[in-house]
Amino acid sequence: MKKAAFHNLGCKVNAYETEAMQQQLEENGYEIVPFSEKADVYVINTCAVTNVADRKSRQMIHRARSQNPAAVVVAAGCYVQESAGSLREDLAVDILLGNNRKGQLLEALREYENTGERESRLSDIGRESLYEPLRADRTGEHTRAYIKVQDGCNQFCSYCIIPYLRGRVRSRREEEILEETRALAARGYREVVLTGIHLSSYGQEDYREAGGERLLALIRQVQEVEGIRRIRLGSLEPQIITEAFAQELASVPKLCPHFHLSLQSGCGETLRRMNRHYTPQEYGEKCQILREAFDRPALTTDVIVGFPGETPEEFGQTEDFVAGIGFAQMHIFKYSRRKGTRADRMEGQVPEPEKASRSARLLKLSRESRDAYIRSLWGKETELLTEEAKEDGDGPFMAGHIGEYIEAGTRAGSLRPNEIVRGIFGVDIFPLNFPGR
Beta pairing, strands 72-77 & 3-8 = unpaired
Phi-psi sector, 84: left (phi>0), alpha (psi -120 to 50), beta? alpha
Nearest Cα neighbor of 60 from 123, 25, 14 is 14
Q: Distance between CA atoms of 260 and 328, rounded to whole angstroms?
A: 10
In a domain, 238, yes or no: yes
pLDDT at 205: 76
Q: Are residues 407 and 359 in the same domain?
A: no
In a domain, 134, yes or no: no
Q: What is the pLDDT of residues 326-341, one digit of tens each?
A: 999 999 999 999 988 9
CATH code of the domain in which 253 resides: 3.80.30.20
Q: Are residues 175 and 320 in the same domain?
A: yes
In a domain, 139, yes or no: no
User: pTM here?
Assistant: 0.92
In a domain, 88, yes or no: yes
pLDDT at 44: 97
Contact 273, 249 (CB under 8 A): no
* Number of compact structural domains in the chain: 3
Q: Are residues 283 and 405 in the same domain?
A: no
Residue 137: pLDDT band with limits 50, 70, 90 = confident
In a domain, 437, yes or no: no
Q: Distance between CA atoms of 240 and 270, rounded to whole angstroms?
A: 21
In a domain, 253, yes or no: yes
Contact 173, 220 (CB under 8 A): no
Q: Are residues 188 and 303 in the same domain?
A: yes
Q: Are residues 218 and 352 in the same domain?
A: yes
Q: Are residues 118 and 22 in the same domain?
A: yes
**Percent of the chain residues past pLDDT 70, beyond the cut:** 97
The contacts of residue 34 (CB under 8 Å, 6+ apart) are: 5
Parent domain of 369: 144-376
Task: Using CB atoms within 10 Å of the CB of residue 337, give its burial: 0 to 12 exposed, 13 to 18 middle, 19+ buried.
Answer: middle
In a domain, 136, yes or no: no
CATH code of the domain in which 25 resides: 3.40.50.12160
Q: What is the pLDDT of residues 66-115, one digit of tens each?
A: 999 999 999 999 999 999 999 999 999 999 999 999 999 999 999 999 99
Q: Are residues 104 and 156 in the same domain?
A: no
In a domain, 131, yes or no: no
Q: Are residues 90 and 226 in the same domain?
A: no
Displacement of CA 9 from its chain's centroid (Å) = 11
Residue 391 has pLDDT above 70, yes or no: yes
